[in-house]
A and B are shown apart, each in its own frame.
Chain A
């Protein structure tokens, strides 16, 4: 028997440069739809209440907490997740010397044994290392990594929107995100590297 489900609707989202059609409930938040319908699990739930920033994605160039955006509200906007970072349209502008480097020995051996998320969205061009990722690795700006996608998103937008940000502006941008593992000193250092200040 075929059942018509009046509780769901089909919407089209622009995610990491691709048009994706998904079936959602009007009450579904963008975070859940990205993770469960599109397999883009880089954005993490930490509170689903706007308090932690782990779910941050980029909407039309600006960071938003995807737990505070309904999926239906995202229609017509350009969404970028950490998986799209470094791809065309997802590059972080940078004054740092490592800007736009290609993957080399510095990439280490990042074999995780826990799946590699291939085929999710529009992955980065192979060989291209986005400056914000390089900076976070260089500065050891994460430990468990759960908050990292969110911080990367905020930093990416910061570099593109406010490359000359003053210290207080950097602080007020990053205040939106919580990290329980690092001391934040490492995150600041990563931002400095990304902005070519250290």
Chain B
């Protein structure tokens, strides 16, 4: 072992990124390219009656105008429900309805605007609540006829239900009768955006002999290859997908969208190279967003706070097309209780079509939303129990020996150590029970916390691979299918590889650009699974190299292979370390002093595929959807002005069990970045839609859709717990997304405490808080009858019931602001 683990090695591409040398998709020369621009639907739901291209085509320099009729092929990673361009029906405002291709961008934009479309506006649905009503307009008339790329997702014909996953465990009657205290509450999170700073872009060209080359800002080059091949019947081997640096993805660049458009654009102009760059408005409205979530949570506990029963219903707003939504629903089902032991469990998780921009994972596969609901519910339960919310979490924390919702037996290896995270958080935050701290007559400070867990939910056979070649100076080239989009995954892999081979980190060069023709297949750079699944492949490739070096070294040094040691880029026999061969003299094959050639050049090869994962049982949910969980506890401290509900987030804390802190500064940066995104999302971000019958997004720019700027950020305090995941390289758990997960909940808990009002929906803008607290503005009818809030509570007399009732009165149901 080379001792590179635990060092603050800088990311490999650091200097490329501070000199402007790092190339992203649209940074390559545009000479010789046509440019495509989109025309998008102004309506959330409309029938396309006619499209007139005449004016557009008459503009000088316009090469083609494509509409949905030209390419009616359906695409999608799980359910084939989405055409590249809307065909006959537009299902969200922002959906592409035509694409113009011209000699330059200005001309293409002019042409796109000159396409005339006649629409018939159809009734639209904007929330899962509306979409689930029996008479709701259907977003898709023909769900039953769509092809499936995955068989386990259960879309329901003649409804807006796009997927369904149930979980059943234990005995609910028993669970409720053991519960002296119950709470029931609904939660609502609107959709929002990933807001990667690089807008989506792609280029495509097709050679005369049918070879397709696509350059794209994607997290999933191999999925691009797959979908182009399947949707357009192109042999997969004819498709080459290139991904240079990606300017942030957060899940939003895992769907295949701009690539399909660029591909058909090039096809339409005889294979000429075409570039398509979405503008920010399109990136926000046309391209996939973060899914919204609605939930109804009912929890029951003993007087001591031990959870006895949970009845949970989730409705994921996957927008107009499913994309990966069904598996987000599956992930919600699998982790539905949050990181707590609940033996009696009834959970229904639905994916629901609406006429929103279609949605996909945003940094934690909906765990930030799931966690919001569960962790708000835990605070409500603590309040009703008159119990310290931290203590309530501690006594219920899931740990080794407990079963997860899908009946996986927990171990320290697969679960980590949540109680240790909570204890550490308690120390760091100086957690105190009791009321908010009065700062001035009108301002108070309060803390709120949240715990989380998340397991990845990849396809059960998701693959990865690594190829390692050497250079004549003894350094090596690590070649994987992993995309560099900011998470430094490849740099972490390099660090592990250096350690494993006993060489220094600067001897590992990383191939940062992905080329599906050269790089071994890697499922997608998502779900923080890289360190696990690509890590396994890299470790195997390293073993392969070590075996070759041992064999060659033994021959060259006349000793047994098992005596060979490999350290500091040298190969030697253990008993005789002074006689050694430098890597540079052996990795390209060895030549002894007599000129005899020994061995051959070294190439390392390793592949891997998830093992032991299973589909979830369609009735009980039993099964294993991910390899292991990452757990953590987070908190925020706010200072709030009770007069106008404005607030500052003073501190944000995070304690995460990462298994092994292989790069403390780099990993801390990932966690802080996630926390920052969570704070931004919860405190200010949401898509709003006009209530004018058209349903267009009213937040389609960075001026109307506000993200956190410098000066608004809290002081971050982090710590880590290291409980190794035994089947992961170096015991390192998935961690690059996870900073976000508990932040929205912790913020809502802090604000609810500061105000004494339950805030059960996002976002938490001062105006929203004021509306909820004062009941200002029309409050929508709750889905749940008010008295249901205490139904099932055998003893409604628990201390704190009054406060809790007040909280319900203030927070129950969905305020108008959230229903847009």
CB of A171 within 8 A of CB of B247, answer: no
Q: Is A2 an interface residue (CB 8 A)?
A: no
Nearest CB in chain A: distance from B596 CB, A: 34
Q: Is B594 an interface residue (CB 8 A)?
A: no
Kindly supply a per-residue 1/0 record for chain B positions 7-23, scoring 1 wherever the CB is within 8 Å of any chain A CB and 0 otherwise. Answer: 00011111111111111
Q: Determine the chain B residues whose CB is within 8 A of the CB of A83 once the complex forms.
A: 19-20
CB of A144 within 8 A of CB of B246, answer: yes
Q: Determine the chain A residues whose CB is within 8 A of the CB of B672 once the complex forms.
A: 182-183, 185-186
CB of A54 within 8 A of CB of B197, answer: yes
Q: Determine the chain A residues whose CB is within 8 A of the CB of B708 once the complex forms.
A: 184
> By DSSP majority rule, is chain A's interface helix, strand, loop, or mixed?
loop
Q: Determine the chain A residues whose CB is within 8 A of the CB of B106 once the complex forms.
A: 25, 27
CB of B23 within 8 A of CB of A182, answer: no
Kindly supply a per-residue 1/0 record for chain A positions 170-198, scoring 1 wherever the CB is within 8 Å of any chain B CB and 0 otherwise. Answer: 01101101111111111110000000000
CB of A144 within 8 A of CB of B16, answer: no
Give the interface size bracket for B toward A: 35 or more
Docked Cα-Cα span, A179 to B713, in Å, equals: 12
Docked Cα-Cα span, A43 to B247, in Å, equals: 13
Closest residue on chain B to residue A191 by CB atoms = B710
CB of B711 within 8 A of CB of A111, answer: no
Question: Which one of A45, A108, A110, A117 contacts B20 once the chains associate, using CB atoms below 8 Å?
Answer: A117
A42-B20, A144-B246 known; A110-B12 Cβ under 8 A: yes
Docked Cα-Cα span, A137 to B279, in Å, equals: 30
Q: Is A51 an interface residue (CB 8 A)?
A: yes
CB of B18 within 8 A of CB of A180, answer: no
Nearest CB in chain A: distance from B685 CB, A: 11
CB of A178 within 8 A of CB of B197, answer: yes
Question: Which one of A178, A181, A184 contacts B702 once the chains associate, using CB atoms below 8 Å?
Answer: A178
A113-B511, A113-B513, A147-B197 known; A44-B247 Cβ under 8 A: yes
Q: Determine the chain B residues whose CB is within 8 A of the CB of A137 once the complex forms.
A: 10, 14-15, 18
Q: Is A124 an interface residue (CB 8 A)?
A: yes
Q: Determine the chain A residues whose CB is within 8 A of the CB of B14 once the complex forms.
A: 108, 110, 137
Kindly supply a per-residue 1/0 record for chain B positions 495-509, scoring 1 wherever the CB is within 8 Å of any chain A CB and 0 otherwise. Answer: 000000000001001
Q: Determine the chain A residues whose CB is within 8 A of the CB of B26 once the complex forms.
A: 41, 45
The B-contacting residues of A in range 46-91, CB under 8 angstroms, are 46-49, 51-52, 54, 81-83, 85
Docked Cα-Cα span, A93 to B487, in Å, equals: 31
Docked Cα-Cα span, A35 to B20, in Å, equals: 11
Q: Determine the chain A residues whose CB is within 8 A of the CB of B19 once the complex forms.
A: 42, 82-83, 85, 117, 124, 133
Docked Cα-Cα span, A41 to B581, in Å, equals: 44
Residue from B27, B279, B670 having most chain A Cβ neighbours under 10 A:
B27
Docked Cα-Cα span, A136 to B282, in Å, equals: 31
CB of A116 within 8 A of CB of B27, answer: no
CB of B486 within 8 A of CB of A174, answer: no
Q: Is B198 an interface residue (CB 8 A)?
A: yes
CB of A183 within 8 A of CB of B716, answer: yes
Q: Is A152 an interface residue (CB 8 A)?
A: yes
Closest residue on chain B to residue A147 by CB atoms = B197
Kindly supply a per-residue 1/0 record for chain B positions 470-514, scoring 1 wherever the CB is within 8 Å of any chain A CB and 0 otherwise. Answer: 000000000000000111100000000000000000100111110
CB of A145 within 8 A of CB of B21, answer: no
Q: Determine the chain A residues whose CB is within 8 A of the CB of B486 once the complex forms.
A: 142-145, 181
Docked Cα-Cα span, A114 to B488, in Å, equals: 16
CB of B22 within 8 A of CB of A114, answer: yes
Docked Cα-Cα span, A136 to B510, in Å, equals: 21
Docked Cα-Cα span, A25 to B109, in Å, equals: 15
The A-contacting residues of B in range 503-537, CB under 8 angstroms, are 506, 509-513
CB of B16 within 8 A of CB of A116, answer: yes
Nearest CB in chain B: distance from A186 CB, A: 6
CB of A152 within 8 A of CB of B18, answer: yes
CB of A171 within 8 A of CB of B23, answer: no
Closest residue on chain A to residue B671 by CB atoms = A183
Docked Cα-Cα span, A146 to B23, in Å, equals: 10
CB of B702 within 8 A of CB of A143, answer: no
Q: Determine the chain B residues whose CB is within 8 A of the CB of A143 once the complex forms.
A: 248, 486-488, 669-670, 673
Docked Cα-Cα span, A81 to B27, in Å, equals: 15
Q: Is B195 an interface residue (CB 8 A)?
A: yes
The A-contacting residues of B in range 71-110, CB under 8 angstroms, are 105-106
Q: Determine the chain B residues whose CB is within 8 A of the CB of A25 once the complex forms.
A: 106
Closest residue on chain B to residue A43 by CB atoms = B20
CB of A117 within 8 A of CB of B702, answer: no
A108-B12, A147-B197, A186-B672 known; A142-B710 Cβ under 8 A: no
Q: Is B662 an interface residue (CB 8 A)?
A: no
A174-B710, A175-B709 known; A47-B20 Cβ under 8 A: no
Q: Is B24 an interface residue (CB 8 A)?
A: yes
CB of A182 within 8 A of CB of B15, answer: no
Q: Determine the chain B residues whose CB is within 8 A of the CB of A107 once the complex forms.
A: 15
Q: Determine the chain A residues whose CB is within 8 A of the CB of B710 once the complex forms.
A: 171, 174-175, 177, 179, 184, 187-188
Closest residue on chain A to residue B679 by CB atoms = A183
Docked Cα-Cα span, A185 to B651, in Å, equals: 12
Q: Is B176 an interface residue (CB 8 A)?
A: no
Nearest CB in chain A: distance from B229 CB, A: 25
Kindly supply a per-residue 1/0 record for chain B positions 231-273, scoring 1 wherever the CB is within 8 Å of any chain A CB and 0 otherwise. Answer: 0000000000000111111100000000000000000000000
Docked Cα-Cα span, A103 to B20, in Å, equals: 17
A–B pairs, 10, beta carbons within 8 Å: A40-B20, A110-B16, A112-B16, A114-B23, A140-B11, A140-B669, A178-B709, A180-B250, A183-B669, A186-B669
A-B CB proximity, top 4 nearest: A42-B20, A146-B247, A144-B486, A110-B15
Residues of chain A having any CB pair with chain B under 8 Å:
25, 27, 32, 35-36, 39-49, 51-52, 54, 81-83, 85, 107-117, 120, 124, 133, 136-137, 140, 142-149, 152, 171-172, 174-175, 177-188
Question: A81-B20, A117-B20, A182-B669 given. 13 additional CB < 8 A pairs?
Answer: A36-B29, A41-B24, A45-B277, A47-B701, A107-B15, A113-B513, A143-B248, A143-B486, A144-B197, A180-B677, A183-B672, A183-B716, A185-B672
